[in-house]
Amino acid sequence: MKRFLSITIIVLLFGFQLSAQERIYTPEMKAPANGAVGQMPNALLDWNAVAGQGTVVTYEVQLSEDETFTNPISFPQTNVTAYEMSELGFNETYFWRVRASDGISTSDWSDPWSFTIVKTVTLTAPGNASVQNPDALLKWNALTGITGYDIEVDTAYRWRVESSGQDNDLFDVYEIDETTAWAVGASGTIVKREYGVWTSFESPVTDDLLDIYFTSATSGWICGVDGILLNFDGTNWNEAVSGTTEDLNGLFFVSENDGYVVGNSGTALHFDGSNWNPIDVGLTGNLYAVHGIDSENIVVSGASATSSIFDGTSWTDYSAGSRDILGVWMLAPDNIWAGAKNGRIYRFDGVAWTEQTVGNRDWRDVYFLDAETGYIIGRNGSLASFDGIGWELSASGTGSDLSGMHLYDENSGYLVGNDGIVISYQGDGFNSDYLKSYAVGSDIVEFRLNNLIFGKNHYFRMRAKHATSISEWSSAGSFSVIAYPNLKTPSNNATNIILDPTLTWDAISGVARYSLQVSMDEDFTNPLLFETNETSYTISGLMFGQDYYWRTNARHAGGVSEWSAAFKFTTIATVTLTAPANNATDVTRLPRLTWTEIHGAEKYLVALDHTPDFTNGEHEYVEENFWQHVFMLDPLETYYWRVKAIQGLDTTAWSETWSFTTANETSIDEQLQQPFTLYPNPANDYFQLKTEAITVPQARLEIYNIIGTKVFAQEVTFGADQQMVTIQIDNFKSGLYFVKLINGNSAFTQRLIIE
């Protein structure tokens, strides 16, 4: 009997084993990866196929907002291995699992995986603090599973640039209350904000001041280079004794009688209410920042990511990495944040520092209002905000380096930086009358704005939406719109400008028209005004040797830009001679005098004489920038010549006076080289000009009388079968004339007698 029972049990166990082996396996999940973030609202749930005993394997998928699947959504069974979701909530975390069935058996549920839907839109252009035309192009990374985007553009934002009245770099700021703040900077700069205005405050030093801290409205401290310490007594800033010549970089006070300052070469001083005394924090490198909670919880940090934390009894050194820590903030002994070089942000959890990278600029100062609200600033206007979970880059409204920050509360605070920049906190923003709102489709990834205000900072943000959810607004991007056109040519202070110059400037897209002003005084008292839709304008009628000022502005349907900074140019005041060279010798007795052409000039007056006083010489008006002498000059004689340009009633001054000396008697060979013949000569009613040596088919024939006055001019054409022209002279008086043939850059002259 016992033997039978044993056999039965063995058979039953074997049967159960066979049954377990035939049961279908649990599917293996593929995507989204467990814990994945930034998923689309139409996330695709994907898993690997499994084989079963039945003819068809189907899968059941569940989605839940909690990992216990208290109230899951179950989707209809499917024989495919992926399910596309729809209309999942932005920034929501979901859990999902899958099991398989082959009609015979059903697998276990897979272990649940989680994923989180994208929080909002990621902006990609324009770049933060960039300068754009009034038709700036917005760009962003595309999202799927949405129905569209909302866009907002405004000139009002939570951070607003305001004037400090300073050009010196500002390194730190402290806001005492909503009406009063102080800032310090380079060359002993101290400025105070009262009644909405920043004004300079008398400083006892001229060296750089690096940090400022107040314990009350009437008690404050400033530290700086070379061991500088200043104390505010409620009225004035006075020098205090630090006992060191090392640069002092950072201040922090627990109370009016309990403070710390840190500096280079491991310098750390403690204030006991009367004196500053050196303390050993265990570090020898430069220290840049100090912060704390109370007298028993202080942290200092500095070069090469070193830090030291005080617990009320002793200092303990920690290393965070390799980047210099420039700013530090202690929220709790196990919750310390630090900003460092090259975009590094460190966090201390009570045991060790961990590192993350946000952006790529040096983070110079960090400030927290509470554990879920923090800010960090740095080079090139970098700004990031902390929401209790992570850091997100945001717009500061400037591209200048930011060095110091202080927030009075969630509604008021300041950032300061290079070139005296001050940026004040304004609340949420995007609430001015200028606010522009747009809705665009889901297939759009860029949007062209138009008619933006010239010279203003603009901020933009976006969000995505579908039928059941709207994302948060993205972090704001910022850009400034160009204030006015940039002038190009003539360059500022250019000289020797022609009388009909073309003024040019850089194009600005998104404008309808440009205005141009030209004036003879820099105040533009009574300017000439021109309008164009081009980026250049040619003016005429200018005067020789005159200073002119010019500027432009641009306009579109939304407004008119400021006038550009004015450029000045001076028109040409005299003629530049070119040939024959000054003091040239052996010059042909039929010289051709040339000079540089002046565009805009109507004609030129040429003077030629035996003496440099030009009392008895020749004077000839010509329209070209040369004068071909039409009769032989005396051999081996020195001549003087000069030229002036004429435009209407205006003339240049005479050019420099040049001289040349003619060659000896004209040789027979020179006479034989004349490229044309005249027949008949003497002539009566006509003559014929014949040539076989013309190099340019088109030539100009001119006739001068004995005193050098041009009495005839005509364009003539020659060719292979046309080498002769006939000229009618029946209306000419009898006498001696000179016939000149101008061919390209050459000119030849022969005498003609008319009977």
**pLDDT confidence of 410, banded at 50, 70, 90?**
confident
In the beta sheet, which residues pair with residue 213? 221
Q: Rounded mean pLDDT of 75-89?
A: 95
Residue 576 and residue 498: Cα distance in Å, rounded?
A: 12
pLDDT of residue 4: 30
**pLDDT confidence of 6, banded at 50, 70, 90?**
very low
Residues above pLDDT 70, as percent of the chain = 95
Q: Rounded mean pLDDT of 695-709?
A: 80
Q: Are 60 and 50 in contact (CB under 8 A)?
A: no
Residue 554 and residue 455: Cα distance in Å, rounded?
A: 11
pLDDT of residue 471: 97
Instruction: Give me the residue label for tokens 């070209």.
Output: 624
Give the residue from 434, 375, 377, 372 showing the smallest Cα distance to 403: 377
Q: Rounded mean pLDDT of 709-737?
A: 86
Residue 464 and residue 151: Cα distance in Å, rounded?
A: 9
pLDDT of residue 695: 66
What contacts 237, CB < 8 A, 6 or more positions away?
190, 201, 202, 203, 204, 222, 230, 231
φ/ψ (deg, to 5) at 290: -145, 145
Question: Does 674-754 carry CATH code 2.60.40.3080?
Answer: yes
What residue type is assigned to position 73 of the chain?
I
For residue range 252-308, list pLDDT tens digits in order.
Answer: 999 999 999 999 999 999 999 999 999 999 999 999 999 999 999 999 999 999 999
- For domain 22-117, give the CATH number: 2.60.40.10
pLDDT of residue 671: 45
The pLDDT of residue 12 is above 50: no
- Between 57-71, 546-560, 604-618, 730-744, the lowest mean confidence (pLDDT) is in 730-744
- For domain 577-662, give the CATH number: 2.60.40.10
The pLDDT of residue 19 is above 90: no
- Between the CA atoms of 524, 529, 532 and 534, what dihedral angle is there, to the nearest 10 degrees? -40
Give the residue from 125, 25, 40, 36 showing the smallest Cα distance to 89: 40
Alpha carbon distances (Å) from 735 to 56, 473, 590 = 122, 96, 20
**pLDDT confidence of 723, banded at 50, 70, 90?**
confident
Q: Are 355 and 391 in contact (CB under 8 A)?
A: no
Q: Are 738 and 748 in contact (CB under 8 A)?
A: no
Q: Rounded mean pLDDT of 115-141?
A: 95
pLDDT of residue 438: 98
22-117 and 123-156+439-481 have identical folds: yes
Upstream peptide bond of 680 is cis (omega within 30 degrees of 0): yes
Give the DSSP H or E segment for 258: strand 258-263
The pLDDT of residue 665 is above 70: no
Other Cβ atoms closer than 10 A to 243:
12
Residue ranges per structural domain of the chain: 22-117, 123-156+439-481, 159-429, 501-569, 577-662, 674-754
**pLDDT confidence of 8, banded at 50, 70, 90?**
very low
Alpha carbon distances (Å) from 580 to 168, 572, 573 = 58, 22, 21
Multiple choice CATH, 159-429, 2.40.10.220, 2.130.10.10, 3.90.180.10, 2.40.180.10? 2.130.10.10
φ/ψ (deg, to 5) at 90: -65, 140
What is the pairing mode between strands 170-175 and 536-538?
unpaired
The pLDDT of residue 720 is above 90: no
pLDDT of residue 672: 41
In the beta sheet, which residues pair with residue 546? none
Residue 636 and residue 53: Cα distance in Å, rounded?
A: 123
Question: Is 729 exposed, middle or buried, given 0-12, 13-18 or 19+ CB atoms closer than 10 A?
Answer: middle
Residue 514 and residue 531: Cα distance in Å, rounded?
A: 6
Q: Rounded to the nearest 5 degrees, what angle is found at the Cα of 30, between the Cα atoms of 27 and 31?
A: 130
pLDDT of residue 16: 38
**pLDDT confidence of 490, banded at 50, 70, 90?**
very high
Q: Are 263 and 248 in contact (CB under 8 A)?
A: yes
Give the residue from 246, 322, 256 showing the smallest Cα distance to 287: 246
**pLDDT confidence of 709, banded at 50, 70, 90?**
confident
What rounded mean pLDDT belongs to the chain? 91
The pLDDT of residue 3 is above 80: no
In the beta sheet, which residues pair with residue 1? none
For residue range 158-188, list pLDDT tens digits in order.
Answer: 888 888 999 999 999 999 998 999 999 999 9
Distance in angstroms between the alpha carbons of the first and the last residue of the chain: 166
The pLDDT of residue 420 is above 90: yes
Beta strands in 582-704 (DSSP E): 584-587, 592-595, 603-609, 618-622, 626-628, 638-647, 650-651, 658-662, 676-679, 686-691, 698-704
Q: What DSSP assignment string belongs to 25-71?
A: PPPPEEESPTTEEEE-TTPEEEE-----SSS--EEEEEEESSTT-SS
The pLDDT of residue 375 is above 90: yes
- Between 353-367, 416-430, 461-475, 497-511, the lowest mean confidence (pLDDT) is in 416-430
Question: Does 501-569 carry CATH code 3.40.640.10?
Answer: no
Instruction: Give me the residue label for tokens 């000054």.
Output: 582
DSSP code of residue 418: G
DSSP code of residue 234: S
pLDDT of residue 666: 53
Structure tokens at 171: 């390194």
Residue 569 and residue 589: Cα distance in Å, rounded?
A: 41
- Between the CA atoms of 8, 14, 17 and 18, what dihedral angle is there, to the nearest 10 degrees? -120
Q: Are 444 and 147 in contact (CB under 8 A)?
A: no
pLDDT of residue 50: 94
The pLDDT of residue 13 is above 80: no
The pLDDT of residue 11 is above 70: no
Multiple choice CATH, 123-156+439-481, 3.40.50.2300, 2.60.40.10, 2.60.40.740, 3.40.50.300? 2.60.40.10
What residue type is assigned to position 566 of the chain?
A
Give the DSSP H or E segment for 550: strand 547-556
The pLDDT of residue 398 is above 60: yes
Beta strands in 276-434 (DSSP E): 276-278, 287-294, 297-302, 306-310, 315-319, 325-332, 335-340, 344-348, 353-357, 363-370, 373-378, 383-386, 391-394, 402-409, 412-417, 422-429
Instruction: Give me the residue label for tokens 């990031």.
Output: 384
Helix and strand element counts for the chain (H, E): 2, 70
Q: Rounded mean pLDDT of 461-488?
A: 96
What is the pairing mode between strands 698-704 and 29-31?
unpaired
The pLDDT of residue 668 is above 60: no
Q: Are 398 and 417 in contact (CB under 8 A)?
A: yes
pLDDT of residue 429: 82
Beta strands in 279-343 (DSSP E): 287-294, 297-302, 306-310, 315-319, 325-332, 335-340
Burial code (b: 16+ CB inside 10 Å, e: under 16) for 562-590 equals: ebbebbebbbbebbebeebeeeeeebebb
3-state secondary structure of 246: coil
pTM of the model: 0.75
Give the residue from 154, 131, 152 showing the smallest Cα distance to 508: 131
Structure tokens at 609: 């004489």
pLDDT of residue 639: 95
Structure tokens at 196: 């909405």
Structure tokens at 684: 């009566």
CA atoms lying within 13 Å on the CB side of residue 666: 13
Structure tokens at 53: 């005993």
Give the residue from 117, 103, 20, 102 showing the smallest Cα distance to 63: 117
